[in-house]
């Protein structure tokens, strides 16, 4: 049997409950889900790639068909090399769709067999972004409703450390 493999790429700086919702839903739809913590050269991350992968592994530890990975280079090429069937992206708003739609077209041109699947964010996390979590956490705000409980304390400690508190 051909197992259907998908990838959920993102910077996950840090992982949020919104990310976890999309990953969990994808894990129920597909045989194998790769969560790819990516380096975005246009961003200055608060967490190293190793830390982001470690936090994500902890957050998805109970999802047996989810594997956390990282790579450099083109997503479409990684998918081709690893026989990944589709990309799963979460959408919060129309502005997300515009960017993700452009990326989906580019990835399809680079690897025609690759599909992109959009999942709409749960209404509880439509407003949620990693940058908002970082901002609230840096200034001592309560982020417990925004990040997985299993990694909450480590995220808080790092964010307060980066703000000198």
Which are the catalytic amino acids?
19, 43, 92, 130
| Residues in CB range of 63: below 8 A, 6 or more apart | 23, 24, 27, 33
Helix (H) or strand (E) segment spanning residue 5 = strand 5-10
Is the peptide bond between 14 and the residue preceding it cis, with omega within 30 degrees of 0? Answer: yes
Are residues 102 and 89 in contact, defined by beta-carbon separation less than 8 angstroms? no
d(CA 114, CA 129): 26
The separation between CA 55 and the C-alpha centre of its own chain, rounded to angstroms, equals: 11
């Amino acid at each position: 049997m051909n197992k259907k493999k998908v990838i959920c790429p993102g910077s996950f700086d840090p992982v949020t409950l919104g990310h976890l919702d999309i990953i969990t839903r994808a894990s129920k739809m597909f045989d194998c889900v790769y969560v790819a913590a990516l380096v975005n050269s246009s961003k200055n991350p608060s967490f190293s790639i190793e830390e982001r992968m470690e936090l994500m592994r902890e957050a998805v530890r109970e999802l047996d068909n989810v594997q956390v990975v990282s790579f450099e280079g083109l997503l479409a090429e990684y998918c081709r090399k690893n026989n990944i069937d589709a990309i799963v992206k979460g959408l919060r708003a129309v502005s997300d769709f515009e960017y993700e739609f452009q990326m989906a077209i580019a990835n399809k041109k680079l690897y025609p067999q690759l599909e992109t699947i959009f999942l709409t964010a749960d209404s509880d996390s439509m407003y949620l972004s990693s940058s908002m979590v970082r901002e609230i956490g840096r200034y001592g705000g309560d982020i417990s409703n925004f990040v997985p409980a299993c990694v909450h304390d480590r995220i808080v400690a790092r964010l307060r450390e980066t703000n000198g508190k």
